Structure 1
Amino acid sequence: MVQAKNQALLDIVQPIIEDQNLLLWDLIIKKVAGKKTVEILVDLPNHDNISMTQITTFTQAVNEALDEAEVDPVPGEYMLDIASPGWDRSLSEPWHFEWAKEADEQIAIALFAAKDGQKKWTGSISSLDDAGLTLDVDGEEKRFNFDEIAKAVVSIQF
């Protein structure tokens, strides 16, 4: 989820996102191997796939904007990691689930506690509301509230 976690960083990145007609999938500041990492995941709207050239262009613009910023939005040393969310992208925001439903993507969810004897479910989203979603699991409808879901990702089907 775009952690408003760091509004100053978001304020720098958002105009670049809009200018390059990209979709900000996630912006996370985390520790990786003991080092602060700023991870920005971008894609194209309308379920198109971003190219490496577009990621490179975006990365260069973000680097320039961060270098020119009057106040460092991420104090201290950090590594900047800009990438696509990938095929098996994490779903954490309500609009992520809407995106998956629009594309008729299969998703895999892991629950905090077992439901009907299992903690992992895979299916397509048949309905969605503010409280949760209904998955079509092999023709059977299963309802899950968002607060039951520990993790959700797009499930790659080969």
Structure 2
Amino acid sequence: MVQAKNQALIDLVQPIIDEQGLLLWDLSIKKVAGQKTVELLVDLPAHENISMAQITTFTQAVNEALDGAAVDPVPGEYMLDIASPGMDRSLNEPWHFAWAKEAGNPITIALFAAKDGQKKWTGLIKAVDEKQLVLTVDGEDKSFSWDEIAKAVVSI
């Protein structure tokens, strides 16, 4: 869950996100080739594509907020990477699946173990709840528990 990853950083960027009318899709802090990287994926909330100009404006505001913060929300040296989640975005949070369902986007899921002889399934989301995901695949509804799903992306 994005909120649990780094609340201090979220507290710093959320007012900027709200002010600019953006949507925080994901936030991660990871090591890439020995370099700590803070990645923020932002988009527009109404299934529109964010522009490079909007990402640039957001990046500048975040940099200013980080530079002016009394306490650095990400201790140590790091690289800041701000981007769009892309058309084939990963679906990690329950609301990501609701977003894809609302947009009518087909998704592809990869399972940890094969189900009905397949490890990958592509279809439209019929239902999402706290226990499972239901996809309509070739006119047939298939249910998957969250524990079965290794990865999910919007299928383009």
TM-score, length of structure 2 as denominator length: 0.98
Asked if 2 retains the 8 angstrom alpha-carbon contact of 1:98 and 1:128, the reply is: yes
| CA–CA distance in structure 2, aligned partners of residues 3 and 102 of structure 1 | 23
Partner of 1:56: 56
What SS does the aligned partner of 2:16 have? Answer: helix
What SS does the aligned partner of 1:42 have? Answer: strand
Query: Superposition pairs for residues 1-158 of structure 1, below 5 Å?
Result: 1-156=1-156
Report deviation, 1:77. 0.7
| CA–CA distance in structure 2, aligned partners of residues 128 and 2 of structure 1 | 19
| CA–CA distance in structure 2, aligned partners of residues 85 and 139 of structure 1 | 29
Map Cα deviations across residues 128-158 of structure 1 (whole Å, 9 max, x no partner): 11111110111111001111111000011xx
| CA–CA distance in structure 2, aligned partners of residues 100 and 20 of structure 1 | 22
Map Cα deviations across residues 70-121 of structure 1 (whole Å, 9 max, x no partner): 0111111100000000000000000000000001101000011111111110
What SS does the aligned partner of 2:2 have? Answer: coil
Report deviation, 1:28. 0.4
Letter in 2 for 1:144: F
Report deviation, 1:29. 0.3
State the aligned residue count: 156
Letter in 1 for 2:152: A
Asked if 2 retains the 8 angstrom alpha-carbon contact of 1:37 and 1:79, the reply is: yes
Report deviation, 1:3. 5.0
Runs of 4+ in 1 over 4 A off after TM superposition: none
What SS does the aligned partner of 1:40 have? Answer: strand
| CA–CA distance in structure 2, aligned partners of residues 86 and 68 of structure 1 | 30
What SS does the aligned partner of 1:92 have? Answer: coil
Letter in 1 for 2:55: I
Asked if 2 retains the 8 angstrom alpha-carbon contact of 1:3 and 1:28, the reply is: no
| CA–CA distance in structure 1, aligned partners of residues 24 and 132 of structure 2 | 22
Letter in 1 for 2:90: S
| CA–CA distance in structure 1, aligned partners of residues 34 and 3 of structure 2 | 20
Unaligned runs of 5+ in 2: none
Report deviation, 1:7. 0.8
TM-score, length of structure 1 as denominator length: 0.96
What SS does the aligned partner of 1:19 have? Answer: helix
